[in-house]
Amino acid sequence: MQGVGALSSPTCVSPSLPSISCNHLNPCNTFLGRRNSVPTPNQNQSPTKRHQSLSLSLRRQYTSFTAKAAAASSSSVGSESYAEEPATRVKFQTPLTLPGCSTSLSLVGTGYREKVFAIIGVKVYAAGLYINPSIFSKLDAWKGKSAADIQENRSLFNSIFQATLEKSLQIVLVRDVDGKTFWDALDDAISPRIKSLTPVDQSALSTFRSIFQGRPLKKGTSIFLTWLDSSKMLVSVSSDGLPSGTDATIESQNVTFALFDVFLGDASVSPSLKASVANGLATILK
């Protein structure tokens, strides 16, 4: 940082010109936002003393300036609202605005997906569930219920799914994953939840599969599954922040419900996500 070097040594005053005041000639004052903040050197002091006095004054002002700048920067960063998933340390933005949604969605809970290899649990991704806030008004029957009651109540999650308002699941990878491997794992969870595939279901699954085939998914990639209603879901993949559009539209109630059930059904692939969502709903519905 060039400004640091300029302010750490008294280059604005030359010992050979002790009579020159820094009040109007010191460019460091402009950088600090104080044009006349450095006092005129005491003419009764020796050039060395004047030199040291001015240097000390500049260092104090620079320290004050950088402290204020750091505070301002922290405040700016803090203006965005985030919630951290504790196991993976992934941060989820709240609220969130996504393509195809009529309004900002509220984060209700977060969790993670873990796969076990040779008895060792390996975290694959973090996940956060977002809901259109208008859905909460449709859940009056569960007001005052505990998180445990909510978690065990399948009908509550069915009500959220059936609501013709947006819900979105953000999946954030915490390690590199091959696209085909990711899809195969997802398909293995979806297929058993559909008793008999219709041509519409098969077409929807084929569209879904095509998003990931031959596509490497790097650590930090986000996959957004956004349910617009019970039979229509948008899929967006983004390797850098929020998506600007959608990669595919899935139109099959069997497929969209099966995917919702994968994460929020009785046998959730992420128990931590479902428990967190139950806690979030219990807090909202007090």
Question: Using one digit for the tens of pLDDT, what is the confidence trace for 192-229?
Answer: 999 999 999 999 999 999 999 989 999 999 999 999 99
Residues 159 and 36 in one domain: no
Q: What is the CATH number of the domain that holds 273?
A: 3.50.70.10
Residues, the chain, total? 286
Residue partners of 53: CB distance under 8 A and separation at least 6 = 41, 42, 45
The predicted model scores a pTM of: 0.71
Rounded to the nearest 10°, the torsion over CA 90, 91, 97, 103 is 110
pLDDT tens digits, one per residue of 118-145: 666 789 999 999 999 999 999 999 999 9
Q: How far is CA 31 from CA 9, 27, 39, 180, in A?
A: 15, 7, 16, 54
Residue partners of 71: CB distance under 8 A and separation at least 6 = none
Q: What is the pLDDT of residue 80?
A: 65
Q: What is the pLDDT of residue 240?
A: 84
Residues 149 and 33 in one domain: no
Residues 72 and 86 in one domain: no
Residues 133 and 6 in one domain: no
178 lies in which domain range? 82-284
Structural domain ending residue among the three candidates 77, 92, 126: 77
Tokens of 146: 């505990």
Tokens of 195: 């008793």
Total domains in the chain come to: 2
pLDDT tens digits, one per residue of 222-275: 999 999 999 999 999 999 888 989 999 999 999 999 999 999 999 999 999 999
Q: Quick one: DSSP state of residue 280?
A: H
Strand order in the sheet with 120-131: 106-117, 120-131, 167-173, 222-229, 232-238, 248-250
Tokens of 236: 């967006």
d(CA 286, CA 283): 6
Most confident of 4-18, 59-73, 152-166: 152-166
Radius of gyration of the chain (CA): 29
Q: How far is CA 262 from CA 136, 197, 213, 223, 235, in A?
A: 22, 17, 21, 15, 16
Residues 28 and 98 in one domain: no
